[in-house]
């Protein structure tokens, strides 16, 4: 059996199933990459001796007759699945049965014959026609299935299955193949949505500086009621899992923050509470809340104050700037904070802008995908939830019990809606990448790759301790490279959507023409810059010589002329202007070594 293919044979020969996990060579995957690297195809290395000609009967059915004794009937069903009925001539199937009999006789022992040399009829007598037919079907799938998909013009989106054997005389097999997802974006180029981000004002920078002071503040426990400016350490218990916290530090500020957990204004509920005090807080979250499990939900939280700590803020001066590590002066610190505030403000705006833009595109888009694709995305959603819960010391089963639900019900009510939204967004971005011919250049990929590795290192990842040694490191590098490429392509797809929505769109041909023009201009400018650099060096040398001459003329007099003339001929006097050249030559080996290093 080939790699990636497994055949299960139930007792009845009319209900066989084949599971194939490798796409055929040359069949494009959903992301436009050819190869055998996803679970949406069949057998690697299948023979290519099958040449099938297609004859279109109607919009729903196609009948294909092959020159090598195969007939294929294709039906595209409403669930985005292809039904392929493949009829094999008995002579062709007999060839596979002969191969199967030889293989069986190699594994078994038939008296009087060496392994693999027993006649066909004796193999049938010893092992039965059923065993030979099972192995023959195995060989048939190995050799022909990828060609069947290719010639039937089927682009698989998931594992195919051999649903049944309709008959044995002649052999007729029915395959079902989920099709690759498709999306039609409609008239996307007429879509308009202004991009109206504005840089934050000085007050936002001042707030960020105050947050830094809070981070570097000193605190001490107090036995009084909590006041504005205090840190309050609390335990929060609730029947709503998303609201349980142990040792949560809330900061009571004068101005309420939108980013406050679990909702804006929660910390102010703690005013007046002393260590050991408890309070029951009721809050109803809005319908458009970002946390799925809290949308429109009325919640009850039992809050217990563990400690109250008064805060002493550091002085805002150059010493504080050096402590933070953002510069040597307070002004440098403010400039660094301002850049960070602006970057975060733009990122937050972009998140909202592109989510709204993609939702607007979805209104005019048409999607076609098999249920398997949605289930696959749902598995990713559930896996990510499990990882987040694990960080809080909880598993999925415990989470389901706390939510008073079952796994199946949770998947139906919450996982599937999220998976559908994410999957359709990814289809839109994939189609933008494909239709606009977006690519990843090496420079962008290298930069993203290095940034990702740096981030992993800052998070404490030690590459020398990766499991599997060099192989494990190589696998990690490949995963990071793939993730980096996806990020670059995603950003470029979003930028393309932004250019369309703001009326600044340029077609792939226009972008290609601009790129080629820029390359020609760069090529033409290079010789000029080289000539200018050489001309500048010559002028500099001439100026240096002229300056030396001027100094010499100024020092020459009637009494000193002979001496200066003789001095001018002395090596140590003549080479004086060239001292720079001598120093450069001395440094050249060192600089060359540095460059090589």
- Parse the chain into domains and list their residue ranges: 5-180, 218-312, 560-597
CB 84 within 8 A of CB 175: yes
Task: List the one residue out of 233, 215, 322, 315 whose CA is nearest residue 270.
Answer: 233
What is the third-level CATH fold of 218-312? Chitinase A; domain 3 (3.10.50)
CATH class of 5-180: alpha beta
CB 155 within 8 A of CB 85: no
Residue ranges of the chain whose pLDDT lies below 50: 1-67, 537, 541-597
Instruction: Give how far Cα 187 sits from Cα of 362, 387, 425, 500, 506, Å.
Output: 11, 39, 17, 11, 15
Q: What is the pLDDT of residue 407?
A: 92
Axis-axis angle for helices 90-107, 129-151 (nearest 10): 130
E-strand ranges in 399-527 read: none
Q: What is the pLDDT of residue 499?
A: 95
CA angle 198, 203, 207 (to 5 degrees): 115
CB 464 within 8 A of CB 425: no
Query: For the residues of 241-255, what is the DSSP string, one character each?
Result: GGG-EEEEEEE--SS
Please, where are the H alpha helices in 158-257?
A: 202-215
189's tokens? 């180029």
- How many helices (H) and strands (E) the chain has is answered by 16, 15
Task: List the one residue out of 406, 428, 411 whose CA is nearest residue 371.
Answer: 411
Q: What is the pLDDT of residue 575?
A: 33
Residue 442: its H or E element: helix 442-458
What phi, psi does 523 have (nearest 5°)? -65, -40
| Radius of gyration of the CA atoms of the chain, in A | 37
Q: Provide the terminal-to-terminal Cα distance of the chain, rounded to the nearest Å.
A: 51
Q: 């199946």: which residue's tokens? A: 408
Q: What is the pLDDT of residue 270?
A: 94
Contacts for 357 with CB less than 8 Å, ≥ 6 apart? 191, 193, 497, 498, 501
Contacts for 307 with CB less than 8 Å, ≥ 6 apart? 221, 232, 233, 275
Task: List the one residue out of 45, 114, 65, 87 whose CA is nearest residue 174.
Answer: 87
Q: What is the pLDDT of residue 306?
A: 95
């Amino acid at each position: 059996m080939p790699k990636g293919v497994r055949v299960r044979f139930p007792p009845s020969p009319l209900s066989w199933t084949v599971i194939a996990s490798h796409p055929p060579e040359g069949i494009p995957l959903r992301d436009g990459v050819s190869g055998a690297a996803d679970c949406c195809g069949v057998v690697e290395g299948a023979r290519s001796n099958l040449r099938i000609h297609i004859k279109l009967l109607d919009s729903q059915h196609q009948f294909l007759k092959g020159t090598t004794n195969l007939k294929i009937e294709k039906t595209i069903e409403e669930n985005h699945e292809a039904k392929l009925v493949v009829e094999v001539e008995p002579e062709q199937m007999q060839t596979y049965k002969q191969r199967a009999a030889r293989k069986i006789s190699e594994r078994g022992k038939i008296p009087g014959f060496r392994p693999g040399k027993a006649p066909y009829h004796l193999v049938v007598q010893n092992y039965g026609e059923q065993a030979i037919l099972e192995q023959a079907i195995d060989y048939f799938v190995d050799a022909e299935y990828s060609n069947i998909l290719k010639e039937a013009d089927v682009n698989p989106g998931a594992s195919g299955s051999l649903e049944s054997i309709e008959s044995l005389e002649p052999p007729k097999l029915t395959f079902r193949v989920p099709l690759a997802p498709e999306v039609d974006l409609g008239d996307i180029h007429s879509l308009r949505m202004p991009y109206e981000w504005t840089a934050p004002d000085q007050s936002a920078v001042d707030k960020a500086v105050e947050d830094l002071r809070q981070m570097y503040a000193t605190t001490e426990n107090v036995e009084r009621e909590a006041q504005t400016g205090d840190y309050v350490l609390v335990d929060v218990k609730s029947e709503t899992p998303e609201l349980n916290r142990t040792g949560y530090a809330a900061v009571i500020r004068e101005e309420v923050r939108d980013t406050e957990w679990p909702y804006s204004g929660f910390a102010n509920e703690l005013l007046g509470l002393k260590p050991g005090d408890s309070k029951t807080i009721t809050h109803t979250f809005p319908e458009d809340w970002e946390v799925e499990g809290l949308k429109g939900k009325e919640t009850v939280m039992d809050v217990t104050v563990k400690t109250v700590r008064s805060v002493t803020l550091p002085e805002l001066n150059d010493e504080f700037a050096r402590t933070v590590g953002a510069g040597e002066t307070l002004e440098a610190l403010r400039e660094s904070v301002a850049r960070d505030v602006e970057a975060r403000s733009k990122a937050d705006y972009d998140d909202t802008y592109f989510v709204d833009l993609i939702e607007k595109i979805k209104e005019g888009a048409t999607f076609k995908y098999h249920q398997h694709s949605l289930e696959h995305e749902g598995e990713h959603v559930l896996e990510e939830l499990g990882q987040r819960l694990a960080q809080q010391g909880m598993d999925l089963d415990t989470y389901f019990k706390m939510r008073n639900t079952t796994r199946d019900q949770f998947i139906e009510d919450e996982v599937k809606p999220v998976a559908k939204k994410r999957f359709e967004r990814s289809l839109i971005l994939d189609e933008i990448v494909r239709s606009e011919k977006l690519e990843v250049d090496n420079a962008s990929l290298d930069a993203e790759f290095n940034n990702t590795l740096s981030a992993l290192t800052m998070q404490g990842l030690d590459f020398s301790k990766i499991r599997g040694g060099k192989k494990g490191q190589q696998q990690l590098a490949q995963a990071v490279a793939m993730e980096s490429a996806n990020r670059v392509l995603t950003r470029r797809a979003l930028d393309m959507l932004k250019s369309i929505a703001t009326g600044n769109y340029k077609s792939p041909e226009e972008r290609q023409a601009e790129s080629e023009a820029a390359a020609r201009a760069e090529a033409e400018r290079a010789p000029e810059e080289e000539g200018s650099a050489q001309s500048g060096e010559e002028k500099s040398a001439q100026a240096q010589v002229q300056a030396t001459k001027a100094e010499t003329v100024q020092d020459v007099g009637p009494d000193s002329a002979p001496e200066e003339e003789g001095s001018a001929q002395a090596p140590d006097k003549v080479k004086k202007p060239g001292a720079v050249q001598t120093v450069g030559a001395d440094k050249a080996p060192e600089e060359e070594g540095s460059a090589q290093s």
